[in-house]
Structure 1
Amino acid sequence: MSIVIREKTFTLHTSNSTYMMQVDSFGYLLHLYYGKKAEHAPEYLLVKKDRGFSGNPYDANNDRTYSLDVLPQEFPFDGNGDYRTSSLIIRTKEGIYGCDLRFVKAEIIDNKTKLKGLPSMSENVESLEVTLEDSLLHLEVILSYSVYEDVDIITRSVRIINHGETVTIENIKSANLDFVSGDFDVISFCGRHTMERIPNRQKVNHGIYKISSKRGASSHQYNPALILCDSNANEMSGNAYSMNFVYSGNFEAMIEADQYGQKRMVMGLSPDYFSYPVEHEDIFYAPEVMMSYSSSGLSRLSQNLHQGMRKYLIHDPMVGIKPILINSWEASYFNFNGESIYQLAKAAKSCDIEMVVMDDGWFGQRESDNAALGDWYVNEEKLGESLASLSSRIHDLGLKFGIWFEPECISEDSDLYRKHPDYALKVPHRKYIRAREQLVLDFSRKEVVDAIFKQVCDILDHASIDYIKWDFNRSISDIYSSTTPQGKVTYDYVLGLYSFLERLIKRYPKLLIEGCSGGGGRFDAGMLYYTPQIWLSDNTDAIDRLSIQYGSSFIYPISTFGSHVSAVPNHQTGRITPLDTRGVVAMSGTFGYELDITKCSDEERKVIKEQVATFKSYASLIHEGLYYRLSDPLHDDIGAYAFINEDEALIFAVRIKNQASRYAYFIKIEGLEDDAYYQDEKGQIYDANILKTQGLPLIVEVGDYQSFTIHLTKIKGEKENGKN
């Protein structure tokens, strides 16, 4: 049993971890333990002592040793005397803040309650539901825990059922973890447009460490994921805990070290622009948080998340390895027609590329990025043919065909805006904020979602489209809806987005959708539920991508990384890197091309064809093998990582810095089987124990940004291979 109830102690077991909570004598739900597998409830961790200004609940009478301000809790709420970070703030219609949640019941269910309108991990799993109640407000709060035993993941979500008068949720967090002791570091994933998810590790000190987004999307700046780990934890040792939000909008995640050095880790919706009324008998669903624990370092923690998302979250319409594509954006930007796209497809076909994608500029009067968003009809005059005709010609070559959309935004210079200016989010009588010469559509309104959905379906119904790139190229500001109550807009907007995607997938079950938001501005588990791959970054520079892929790999599976080989000098950095190196870096993802292959030389096309063949031969290992970070490209002279399964290992490495008289790098290969032997493609045999402790030498050649690819196959042993 993965879930055990013993009186009022509730225990969740995964393969390698245990999570415990307990209801105390006053009906409060306290947190006991999360960590390495254990059986007995450690009630002795609940230390009670008079601590001065830490207040005492009325029910405790004269017992000054009992205070929720210092005890570890499962779901801390405002109004119980706990002055630390709260998971719930309720405001009544009289303007009174706070509630008093006491335990009612706990039950094990064979699946999980569906989060209405929200993505979540698979429902075919054992779950625990704990019901708390405020008897004065007639408010039920149900905490849901689902156990994914084989991947060491526990998910948490919350739903609030109001049986009383209308209340307003001012703040809600889906997950809380309290630690009574520990010397911790926090790792977050920060950045900016074209440089997303760069790991930031720092010691947890007194006070609050917070990451958040109020941009309407999870953002380029802060990814909705946190890792809390021992201060001496590394890739292969130490305790590490993660939280990852299955949501694509405004979020907040915090680590608080309190007055006594205890730590609290919380994650959920951001209170910015959020004030959500819940009327009589309404239910509010808070999005899911994925939690995982590893006692053996950061690599194992990442592998838990990678395997869990691939197995229980991501729905892939294309079985197996997805097609290798070429995208027209950096090849031609807006300067193309149907014939040039066809010629790009013919050149791609000659290199064994499997799909061509026509990016921005095929619709409405779209000749630049300042017009026509919202006018989703084919510009046949520009293409010189219908979309159905172009699609048919490309399919006749034996290639798949995809197109670009940005359904959530609208240009002021568009037929849709001229007809429905109220469809855009903007504050009446106030000058509004433009970004990329566009506004954001009010997806909190069903009629707006329906109008865009109809336009998109009219396109997809009349041409054979295998793939769409779903883009979103600005942050949300001017948050005002003409119909939706203002405190609900940002949350209901995301529900509208998810509704659109859910309907699209149901209507076109074989359609592959790649998410994008100026690259990696909405790279989160919520979008991965609908879009099994996401464009990792608008920055296609191979050397920068090493850092972006490195940071992203702490949380997200490599199979989800939209990653392409682009032209040089690179369009974002101006850097020149060898084609071989660009190929090696792009193979750590979905793999594809972002250049004008019609202008490549015969030698370059030969290399591209070889790269395609190489990727296909290793794709299953790359996408399904265990991933190991072998260096830190932010600080080391080389970026190196490995993909390993029970029979083989694939090591990629790129030299970042070029120094004279450097003859070799020695890369320690973690993840190999102890006492086993491996052989490379030249016949050289390696002892796994030596590769782990001394490393594999990578011989340096003259030139910038040299890349290395080493494939090792496990063999039975030295003696059986004539090595006595």
Structure 2
Amino acid sequence: MPINFDSKTGIFHINTKNTSYIFRLIKEGYVFGGYWGASIDSLDPSRLWQTYPSGFSPNYPGSMHGNIGLDLYPSEYPVYGSGDFRSPAIQVEFPNGSRLLDLRYLSHSITAGDRTPQPGLPQLSGADETLEIVLFDPSTGLEVVVRYAVYEAEDCIARSTAIVNRTNQPLRILRALSASVDILNEDYQMMNLYGAHARERQIERQSIRHGINAIESSRGSSSHQQNPFMAIVSPETTEHSGAAYGFSLIYSGNFLANAELDQFDYVRLQMGINPFDFAWNLGPDQTFCTPEAVLTYSRQGLNRLSQNFHNVFRNHLGASLYRNQPRPIVINNWEATYFNYD
């Protein structure tokens, strides 16, 4: 099965045809990231993280251990206000003005096939398995469902979240990203596709510096100016060799893609709706769903990364009747008659 959970170690292992995505639930209820890359059979829990001195990195609430702080470890869905000073995936304002969160594991489920449809949002269909992890903050009553839909043959994972207001008061969502992944840095470079009218999809590739490296759009649509895509690649990666991580957001509105390099040499990779000028009022028992971010990994360069995206979008997103058969030919007649013909 693509998704496995070991209750003894707390390790979740998501398998696709050529990749492994591994993270761990610790006893205190936090879900820490671990490994994402080429397929492996298993991973020793003691090798999931490195331990660092925790000067100026506070322990998480309830912890007395000197080297366990949320600022020191990778997180699957980081929050603001519990000691992780890197970019959060979520920020919520409560009626009393507080924006602090402490999300911890409540439950999880692994189901065959698709997850619940997201109202008003396009999404991939035909998943092999779906993992849903429910996180909950008992002091505020906020619930967050983190979803992983696995497409085994295409080496893709579709990530999204659902934010549920379990309180009896309205709250205000200020930031709600679809995916957040922390990986150890290996001199990675960030690649994005910028452009303009008549010169779309220009490739830009640059080293990831310490701090936040971001691409974004706030013009109301992703457009030709910036595309909701990001790749993280090794310096030696070419079209047909080398490591490449890919992120693509199934959403054409304002978006943000982050690559943040911290002082401990972790890179936090995030994608979702742009928090700029964003706010969403969420009433009691209401749910807000984020668009899907599709994640894939290739160790055979950018060409394989592109093929993974092509395959998953062709097989699981396109709704055309001709998706799996030869299509009729339409002559490019745009500026001749502006489609005013039979």
Common fold, TM-score beyond 0.5? yes
Aligned-partner Cα distance in 2 for 1:184–1:119: 31
Conservation of the 8 A alpha-carbon contact between 2:127 and 2:149: no
Aligned-partner Cα distance in 1 for 2:270–2:44: 22
Q: 2:328 aligns with which of 317, 323, 328?
A: 323
- Does residue 153 (structure 1) correspond to residue 156 (structure 2)? The answer is yes
Conservation of the 8 A alpha-carbon contact between 2:177 and 2:271: yes
Aligned counterpart, 1:91: 93
Aligned-partner Cα distance in 2 for 1:316–1:9: 39
- Does residue 241 (structure 1) correspond to residue 252 (structure 2)? The answer is no
Amino acid at match of 1:4: N
Structural mapping, 1:702-713, within 5 Å = none
| 2:305 alignment partner, SS class | helix
Aligned-partner Cα distance in 1 for 2:304–2:332: 34
Aligned counterpart, 2:60: 57
Aligned-partner Cα distance in 1 for 2:240–2:74: 29
| 1:146 alignment partner, SS class | strand
Q: 2:174 aligns with which of 163, 170, 175?
A: 170
Aligned-partner Cα distance in 1 for 2:232–2:183: 11
Aligned-partner Cα distance in 1 for 2:42–2:331: 56
Aligned counterpart, 1:227: 231
Q: 1:141 aligns with which of 139, 144, 160?
A: 144
Structural mapping, 1:318-357, within 5 Å = 318=322, 320-331=325-336, 357=339
Aligned-partner Cα distance in 2 for 1:329–1:152: 37
What's the % identity of the aligned pairs? 35
Amino acid at match of 2:180: N
Aligned counterpart, 2:132: 129
| 2:312 alignment partner, SS class | helix
Aligned-partner Cα distance in 2 for 1:307–1:332: 34
- Does residue 275 (structure 1) correspond to residue 275 (structure 2)? The answer is no
Conservation of the 8 A alpha-carbon contact between 2:128 and 2:152: no
Q: How far is the alpha carbon of 1:177 from its aligned partner? A: 1.2
Q: How far is the alpha carbon of 1:123 from its aligned partner? A: 3.9
Conservation of the 8 A alpha-carbon contact between 2:260 and 2:267: yes
Over the aligned positions, Cα root-mean-square deviation in angstroms equals 1.5
Structural mapping, 1:475-494, within 5 Å = none
Rg (Cα) greater in structure: 1
Aligned counterpart, 1:27: 29
TM-score, normalised to structure 2, is 0.94
Amino acid at match of 1:326: I
Q: 2:41 aligns with which of 32, 36, 39?
A: 39
- What do the CA deviations read for 1:632-670 (whole angstroms, capped 9, x no partner)? xxxxxxxxxxxxxxxxxxxxxxxxxxxxxxxxxxxxxxx
In the alignment of these two chains, the number of paired residues is: 336
Q: How far is the alpha carbon of 1:277 from its aligned partner? A: 1.1
Conservation of the 8 A alpha-carbon contact between 1:239 and 1:293: yes
Conservation of the 8 A alpha-carbon contact between 2:215 and 2:226: yes
Aligned-partner Cα distance in 2 for 1:216–1:40: 43
- What do the CA deviations read for 1:361-401 (whole angstroms, capped 9, x no partner)? xxxxxxxxxxxxxxxxxxxxxxxxxxxxxxxxx6xxxxxx4
Amino acid at match of 2:266: Q
Conservation of the 8 A alpha-carbon contact between 2:127 and 2:150: no
Q: How far is the alpha carbon of 1:321 from its aligned partner? A: 3.0
Aligned counterpart, 1:314: 318
- Does residue 264 (structure 1) correspond to residue 280 (structure 2)? The answer is no
Aligned counterpart, 1:72: 74
Aligned counterpart, 1:113: 116
| 1:60 alignment partner, SS class | coil
Q: 2:305 aligns with which of 290, 301, 305?
A: 301
Q: How far is the alpha carbon of 1:332 from its aligned partner? A: 5.2
Aligned-partner Cα distance in 1 for 2:319–2:334: 27
Q: 2:222 aligns with which of 218, 223, 226?
A: 218
Structural mapping, 1:404-419, within 5 Å = none
| 1:326 alignment partner, SS class | coil
- Does residue 3 (structure 1) correspond to residue 8 (structure 2)? The answer is no
Aligned-partner Cα distance in 1 for 2:82–2:51: 16
Amino acid at match of 1:265: L
Unaligned runs of 5+ in 2: none
Q: How far is the alpha carbon of 1:323 from its aligned partner? A: 2.7
Amino acid at match of 1:261: D
Aligned-partner Cα distance in 2 for 1:209–1:296: 25
Aligned-partner Cα distance in 2 for 1:124–1:291: 14
Aligned counterpart, 1:253: 257
- Does residue 208 (structure 1) correspond to residue 212 (structure 2)? The answer is yes
Aligned-partner Cα distance in 2 for 1:207–1:23: 27
| 1:58 alignment partner, SS class | coil
| 1:323 alignment partner, SS class | coil
Amino acid at match of 2:281: P
Aligned-partner Cα distance in 1 for 2:333–2:303: 36
| 1:59 alignment partner, SS class | coil
Aligned-partner Cα distance in 1 for 2:196–2:12: 42
Q: How far is the alpha carbon of 1:327 from its aligned partner? A: 4.6
Aligned-partner Cα distance in 2 for 1:146–1:56: 32
Amino acid at match of 1:325: V
Amino acid at match of 1:324: I
Aligned-partner Cα distance in 2 for 1:327–1:149: 37
Conservation of the 8 A alpha-carbon contact between 1:233 and 1:239: yes
Conservation of the 8 A alpha-carbon contact between 2:127 and 2:151: no
Conservation of the 8 A alpha-carbon contact between 1:33 and 1:42: no
TM-score, normalised to structure 1, is 0.45
Conservation of the 8 A alpha-carbon contact between 2:2 and 2:128: no
- What do the CA deviations read for 1:448-503 (whole angstroms, capped 9, x no partner)? xxxxxxxxxxxxxxxxxxxxxxxxxxxxxxxxxxxxxxxxxxxxxxxxxxxxxxxx
Amino acid at match of 2:28: F
- What do the CA deviations read for 1:230-286 (whole angstroms, capped 9, x no partner)? 111111111110000011111100111112221111000101221111110001001
Aligned counterpart, 1:14: 16
Conservation of the 8 A alpha-carbon contact between 2:11 and 2:24: yes
| 2:240 alignment partner, SS class | coil
